[in-house]
Amino acid sequence: MFAFIVSRILQALPVLLSVALISFAMFAYVGDPVAIMLGQDYTQAQRDALVAELGLDRPFWVQFATFIGNAAQGEFGLSYRLSRPVADLIAERAPATLELAFTAAVLALLVGVPMGVYTGLYRNSWLSRFFLTFSLIGVSLPTFLIGILLILVFAVWLGWLPSFGRGDTVRLGAWTTGFLTVSGLKALVLPAITLGLFQLTLIMRLVRAEMLEVLRADYIKFARARGLPNRAVHFGHALKNTLVPVITIVGLQLGAIIAFAIVTETVFQWPGMGLLFIQSVGAADIPVMSAYLLLISLVFVTINLIVDLLYYAVDPRLRIGRGKGGH
Amino acid sequence: MSNAAPLLEVRNLRVEFPTRRGTLVALDDVSFSIAPGEVLGVVGESGAGKSMTGAAIIGLLEPPGRIARGEILLNGKRIDNLRYEQMRRIRGKEIGAIFQDPLTTLNPLYTVGQQLTETMTTHLPINPAEARRRAIEWLELVGIPAAAQRIDSYPHEFSGGMRQRVVIALALCAEPRLIVADEPTTALDVSIQAQVIALLKTLAREKGTAMMLVTHDMGVIAETADRVAVMYAGRIAEIGPVREVVKHANHPYSAGLMASIPPLDRRVERLAQIDGAMPRLSAIPRGCAYNPRCPKVFSRCADERPDLMDAGTTRAACWLYASEVPHG
Amino acid sequence: MAETLRRFFDSDLWFSFTRSPVTVLSAIVAAICILGAVFAPWIAPHNPFDLASLNLIDAFKPPAWTEEGARDYVLGTDDQGRDVLSAIMYGARVSLLVGISATVFATLLGVSLGLLAGYVGGAIDSLLMRICDIQLTFPSILVALLVDGVVRAVLPREVHADIALFVVIFAIGISEWPKFARTVRGSTLVERNKEYVQAARVIGVPKARIMVSHVLPNVIGPVLVVATLNLGLAILSEATLSFLGVGVPPTQPSLGTLIRIGNDFLFSGEWWITIFPGVALIAMVLSVNLLGDWLRDALNPKLR
C-alpha cells in the first residue's frame, strides 16, 4: 500500500516539475517585471538594485530553485494588476471555486451514475431514450450557452433564482461559505447546473456503456444462474465492476470541472479563482497566471492520486502480494 | 431407461432465434428425461445445440432466443413458462449450473466466501455466520487446501483448476437436485480435467444430485455418464445407455463420432473421420439433417425428418430403424 | 470530371450518406451555415460594419414576427441598431475562419511533429510524447487561454490589437496539436517497418524525403477524420475565448463575441441579441460534429 502511494507520487513529480518550469519561465521571462514594478521613471542604478534584490542576476537554476521554494510556501509575488500578494488573492477566491466545483461534481455523480445505470439496464424504455437524447444535447452545447439559457429562463423570465454572484456568505475562519445561507444556496443552483451538466451527461454515457459491457460478462450470467435476486446482480455484481473504469475517467473529469469553472464563473460573475484567472489573462497579469497554473496542476495530480487509491480499493487484482497465490 | 419418476423431463423442445433474415431454429423436437441421481451426458459438435439445451433448462437463453414449443418439467411441474422471479428461486436452489470457463464465471471483485455465502443466504434459511461456516465446509469438500484461510481470497488468487472447484462448490452449495454442467473441463489443463471430473462425479453421487453433463469429450462421458444423448444440428440423433452408444452406436452419426475416438487398447494408422461439416442453422437440409454426410443414406432420408425410434438397445432418429417398410 | 462525379455517386460513401437522414440534415444545415458565412458580404440584408447605414432609432428592434418587430430586420437589431441576422452571418465568417485556420495549424504542427517522433524515434520521440502527455492532462481550453495570456504579455498592446486574430488561431492550434501528433506517430510506427520504407532506405533515399513522400501519404487518412472532428471543437474554443473577452478583437466580432455583447442585454429583455447567435453557433458546431462522426464511421468503422 505504502509502496504503491510512493510510486504514484514519484510518477507525478515530473509532471509537476515541468509545469513549475513553464510557470517559472512565464514568471521570469514574459514581460518585464522590473519595469512593471518600477513604474514609468527609473534610473539604471535603481533598476540594477531591484534586479539584484529580486535575484534576477543569478543563474537560471538558482532562480528556479528559489521560485519552487517560494511557491512551496505559497509565495508568488505581487499581482501586476491589483498590486496585492497573489497568495492572498487566490486564498480569497478559492472557497468560491471549490464550493462551486464540489457542488457541480456531486450533482454530476449523483444524477449521472443512476441515469447511466438505468439506461444500461432498461435500454429500450422511453425514459432511456429521453435520457440519451438529452445527453446528446448536453455534450454538444457549449458551457457558456447553457449558462445563458438558464439565466434567461430561471432568472429573467421566471425570476426564481439569482443570475450572478454568490449571495450572502458566512465567514468560518479563513473560509467563506455560501452553503449556510438561503441566498447563498439559491445563488449556487444555476452555476452548479451549468458547470455540472456536461460532466453529468459524460458520466451517464460512460456508465451506460460500461454497464452494457459488464452485463454481457460470464460472471453476471453465472450470478443469475445461481438464482441471485436482480437487485444483487445489477447493483452488486454489475455496478461494482462498472465502477472500476468509470472511476478513472470520472476522476479526470472532476479535474476538468475546476478548469471549466473559468467559463461558468465568467457567465455568472462568480467571485472565484476562474474569474480571477480570466481577468489576469486579459490584463497579462503573469504572477497570477503562473500561480493559478501551478495550483491547477497540483489539483490535477492530487485527483489522479486519489483515483489511483480508489482503484486500488475497488479492484483486488491490483493488491499484488496479498494472497498466497494458488498456482 | 430408469424406471423411477423422472426428475427432469424435456418434451418436444423447440428454441427459435428471430433474426432480420428470418427465424433460426436452434433446437427442434428435443425430448429426454433425467432420473434422480442419474448422469446424462450430452455430446455433439460445436453448434449442435448442447449448451443451448442447458441454457433453456435453467431459463437463461440469450435474447432474442426463446422457447417456441415444448415443455420442460421439473418434478412433474412445468418450469419453462414461469415468470422471471419464480424461475430465479429455482435457479441455484433446484437446478445448479457450472459454466465452461472458470476464469470468467467468478466475479473478480468479490471473495469466494462472499460469493458462496450470498448464494446460500439467498436460497437457504440460514444466517450469514452459518453460511460462512458451511462455505468453509464446501471449500474443503471440493478440495481447496486451507479452506478457512482461502475463503477470504479473491478469484484471481486461485489457479484455473481451483477456480473450477470453487464454481462447483457454488453450483452445489444450495443443494440442488440437478446440475447442468456446460463443458466444465474444456478450459482446463488436461492434467487437471480428470481431477475435476472425478470430483464432480463423487460429489454428485454422495449428494444424490442428478447431472446433465454437456461436453464434447467422449472419454469424460464414457467414464461418468449413465446415459448419453448425441446431438446433431439442433436435434437428438441418438439417446441410450452409455455403454451401448459408445460400443454399438445405432445412428450412423453416433457411429461415426465414436469411430473418431482414438482407442487406447490398440494402435491405428489413421482415425476415422466424418466427411463434410455440420450445416449452419440457417441451412439445415430437408429430411434428415445428417443425410448429405451419411454413409447409409437412402431415398427416404432426403424427404422426411425422422423422430427418435426404437433401435434395439438405444433410441435413434434414423429411418434405418423404421418398423414399417417405406413405400417404394 | 463527369467520370469522377459518376464514380462518387456510385460509391459506398455516397450510399451510406443517403441512408442516414441525420447526416443529410446535418449536411444541409452545415451547407447553409458555411454558404451564409462565406457569401455574407453579398447576401446579408445589411452591412453591420457600415457605420453610415446604422441608425440608433432602429436599436433594440425585436424579431420581425413579434408585435414591435420590423420587417426589415428579421431577427431584430442590437443596441447599435445593427441587423442581428447580418451580424450573425459576418460573425460566422470569423468563427469559421478561425476554426478552420486553427485546425489547419494544429494539423500541420501535429502531423510534422508526429511524423518526426514516429520515424526518427529515440530521444526526440520520448521528448515530444512527454510534452503531449503533459499537455493532454489539461483541458485544451485551459491551454488555449494560457497561450493567449502569455502572448498578450509578450506583445505590446498596439501590436496585439493588430494581430489578435492570429493570436487566437495560434493559441487554439497549440492547444490541439497533441491529438494529431499521437495519431500520426502511431501510424508512422506501423508504416516505417513496412517493406516499401525499408526498400527506399536501402536505395539511399534521404530520411526527410522518405518521411514526406513515402510515409506521409500512407498515414494521412486517419488525420483527415481527426481534423473534421476537431473543427467543431476549434469553433467552440474560439467562441469560448471570445465570450470570455480574450478572443478575436471587438472590431471583428465572431459568434462568441456577439453572444458576449448580447449577454449584457439579457436582463433588460432583449434576449434575441444573444440567443440567435447562440442558436447559429449550436447549429454550426452540431452539424459539423455529426458530419465528422458519420465520416469516421463511414471511412473506417474500426477507428474510434
Task: Verify that A1 and A101 share a domain, yes or no.
Answer: no
Rounded average pLDDT over C33-41: 84
In chain B, what residues touch A225 (CB-CB under 8 Å)? 58, 60, 91-92, 96-97, 99
Are there at least 3 beta-carbon pairs closer than 8 Å between B and A? yes
A128 plus A274 within the same structural domain = yes
Q: Which residue of A has its CA nearest to C144?
A: A281
Look at residue C54 in the predicted model and tell me its pLDDT. Answer: 67
CB-based burial of residue A52 (10 Å sphere; 0-12 exposed, 13-18 middle, 19+ buried)? exposed
Average pLDDT, rounded, for chain A: 81
Find the range with the poorest average confidence among A33-47, A288-302, B14-28, C238-252.
Answer: A33-47
Mean pLDDT of B287-300: 87
Q: Would you give the end-to-end CA distance of chain B in angstroms? A: 35
Of A79-83, B258-262, C172-176, C189-193, give the range with the top mean pLDDT.
Answer: C172-176
Search chain A and give the residue with CA nearest C232.
A140
Q: What is the dihedral of CA B78, B81, B86, B92, to 10 degrees?
A: 70
Q: What is the total count of domains within chain A?
A: 3
Give the residue on C whose Cα is nearest the Cα of A290. Answer: C146
CB contact under 8 A, C240 and A263: yes
SS3 C303: coil
Do the strands A170-172 and A175-177 form a parallel or antiparallel pair, or are they unpaired?
antiparallel
Give B72-90 pLDDT, tens digit per residue: 999 989 998 889 899 999 9
Is-contact C247 C257, C-beta < 8 A? yes
Domain-located, residue A142: yes
Q: Are residues A130 and A159 in the same domain?
A: yes
Cβ proximity of A293 and A258 under 8 Å = no
Residue with cell 508512422: C188
Which of the pair, A81 or B59, is modelled with greater confidence? B59
Domain identity same for A240 and A105? yes
Q: Could you tell me which residue, A111 or C59, shows the higher pLDDT?
A: A111
Tell whether A24 and A39 lie within a shared domain: no
- Residues of chain C in contact with residue A307, where contact means CB-CB under 8 angstroms, are none
Measured between CA atoms, the residue of chain B closest to residue A214 is B107
Q: Which residues of C touch A296 (CB under 8 A)?
A: 138, 142
Higher pLDDT, C46 or B99: B99
> What's residue B22's pLDDT?
78
Model pLDDT, residue A38: 67
Mean pLDDT in residue range B112-137: 93
**Residue of A144, A293, A307 to mutate when probing chain C, most C C-beta within 10 A:** A144
Shared domain check, A235 and A142: yes
Question: Using 50, 70 and 90 to split pLDDT, how confident is the model at B3?
Answer: low
Domain with A188 in it: 88-283
A267-276 pLDDT, tens digit each: 888 888 888 9
**Domains plus CATH for chain B?**
8-94+176-321 (3.40.50.300)
Who has greater pLDDT, B114 or A310?
A: B114
Closest-CA residue of C relative to A164 is C267
Average pLDDT over residues C121-147: 83
Model pTM? Answer: 0.76
Chain A residue numbers touching C141 (CB-CB < 8 A): 259-260, 262-263
CB contact under 8 A, C138 and A286: no
- B182: three-class secondary structure by DSSP: strand
Nearest to B254, CA basis, from B305, B298, B304, B294: B294
Inter-chain contact A282–C145, Cβ cutoff 8 Å? Answer: no
* Arithmetic mean of pLDDT, C138-151: 82
Q: B119 CB near a chain A CB, below 8 Å?
A: yes
Q: Residues 6 or more apart from C1 whose CB is under 8 A from it?
A: none
Q: Are B32 and B10 in contact (CB under 8 A)?
A: yes
Q: Are residues A110 and A226 in the same domain?
A: yes
Higher-confidence position of A29 and A217 = A217
Between A22-31, A74-83, C197-206, the lowest mean confidence (pLDDT) is in A22-31
Report the percent of chain B where pLDDT is more than 70. 95
Considering the domain architecture, whether residues A245 and A295 belong to the same structural domain is answered as no
Residues 102-161 (A) with a CB less than 8 A from some CB of C: 140-145, 148-149, 151-152, 155-156
Q: What is the C-alpha separation between B7 and B10, in angstroms, rounded?
A: 10
At residue B53, the pLDDT reads 93
Neighbours of chain C (3+ CB pairs under 8 A): A
In this prediction, residue A321 has a pLDDT band, given cuts at 50, 70 and 90, of: very low
pLDDT of residue A327: 39
Q: For residue A222, name the pLDDT band (cuts at 50, 70, 90).
A: very high
Residue A33's pLDDT band (boundaries 50, 70, 90)?
low
Q: For residue range C116-131, what is the model confidence (pLDDT) as tens digits?
A: 898 888 888 888 888 8
Q: Is the pLDDT of residue B328 over 60?
A: no
| Low-confidence winner among A81-90, B302-311, C146-155 (lowest mean pLDDT) | C146-155
A78 domain residue, yes or no: no
Taking the domains of chain C in order of start, what are their residue ranges? 25-303
Residue B276 has pLDDT above 90, yes or no: no
Same domain (yes/no): A185, A240: yes
Q: Which of A243, A316, A218 is nearest to B103 (CA)?
A: A218
Contact criterion met (CB < 8 Å) for C137 and A297? yes
Asked whether residue B2 carries a pLDDT value surpassing 60, the answer given is no
Cβ-Cβ contacts under 8 Å, C134 against chain A: 15, 18-19
Highest mean pLDDT among A283-287, A320-324, C120-124: C120-124
Are residues A194 and A58 part of one domain?
no
Cα distances (Å, whole numbers) of residue A292 to A25, A66, A260, C146:
14, 18, 13, 10
Res B1: pLDDT? 46
Is the model's pLDDT at B327 over the cut of 70? no
Give the confidence band of B151 by pLDDT, cuts at 50, 70, 90.
Answer: very high
ipTM over cut 0.90: no
How confident is the model over C254-281, as pLDDT tens digits?
Answer: 888 888 888 888 777 778 888 888 888 9
**pLDDT of B190 above 90:** no
pLDDT tens track for A48-76 = 877 777 677 777 788 888 888 888 787 77
* Interface contact flag, C246 A15, Cβ < 8 Å: no
Residue A317 with chain B: CB contacts under 8 Å: 108, 154, 156
Q: Which CATH number fits domain C25-303: 1.10.3720.10, 1.20.1740.10, 2.60.20.30, 1.20.5.510?
A: 1.10.3720.10
Same domain, A96 and A148: yes
Residue A322, pLDDT > 80, answer: no
Four-CA torsion B292, B294, B296, B301, nearest 10 degrees: -50
